[in-house]
Amino acid sequence: MVKYLGEQLSGIVSSVNGWFQSYGYHDVKPPIIYGDVSRPNTMTVFWSSTAQSIPRQSMKEVLIELVTTLNWSFVGINQPRHERCYQIVLAIKYEVKDLEKASIKIDAAIKAQWNAKFAERVNYKEEAAELKSIITRGLPFGWEKALSTCTPKGPAGATKNLFQQNIDTFVEVLPGFLGGSAGLASYNMILLKMYDDCQDTSEESNVRFGVKEHGMGAICNGFGLRILGQIPYFVTFFVFTDYMRAAIKALGSAIDDCNNIGILCGHIPDLERR
């Protein structure tokens, strides 16, 4: 099963050792994890649906040990194991959801054991709260308390400076918060000071979109729809939204499934200089 998962998930590659097998040796092929792991397509829905449709065909449950999937693989020395394990968990979670949508029956005893095991998450309060917010696409309790406050009597501050303060606060309470701007990151002051660029290391949170707004919008939509727990944001001038109109329309049609944040700002150089 580990080999099969390695063939289905992106970010994992399996070697081919036909020459080795031709000499009669037993061949064990652990997958090689070389990058971010995700599930581009369903993996077992077709086979499960086919098996369930055959009369009097008994179906045996398959137990997928997620840590085993990781530990039986070769993980690149530059790959953070905790991140890859987390991604494998999410990939299998999506697969289970698709199996449920396809009306694949789950053995009652197996389901009861799973529910009992899942109830043990209360022993890990912080991790349980984070898991709940990811599964429900919600926000951690009390996240708004981390926001900066402004009052009429408080010191004056440029809007961009205040925004910079808030996004640096967001990333401390929202683990999946990431994003950037299409060539305007430094100007709009939206880089997360706690992180580097995710192009260099995948667990970082600053995304360099280049200079194309339509590409930025499409990438954020992909983050929000395909990667559970991510809260992607993009920043650009309002006048530039014409370039990403298609991406914004696509986001609007799937707004219930996305946590995307779009920040649109005005470009008034005269006032900014003052």
Pairing of strands 10-13, 32-38: antiparallel
Distances (CA, A) of 78 to 15, 32, 71, 146: 19, 12, 15, 33
CA 119 from centre of chain: 24
Strands (E), 74-220: 74-75, 177-181
DSSP state, 155?
P
**In the chain, what are the helix, strand and coil shares in percent, each to the nearest 5?**
50, 10, 40
- How far is residue 163's CA from residue 235's CA, in Å, rounded to a whole number? 11
Q: Kindly give, in sequence order, each residue whose CB lies less than 8 Å from that of residue 62, ignoring residues fewer than 6 positions away.
A: 1, 44
For the chain, the straight-line distance linking the first and the last C-alpha, in angstroms and rounded, comes to 64
Of the candidates 105, 97, 95, which has an alpha carbon nearest to the alpha carbon of residue 60? Answer: 105
**Catalytic one among 126, 127, 130, 213?**
213
61 is catalytic: no
Beta pairing partners, 181: 235
CB 224 within 8 A of CB 260: yes
Q: Which residues are catalytic?
A: 213
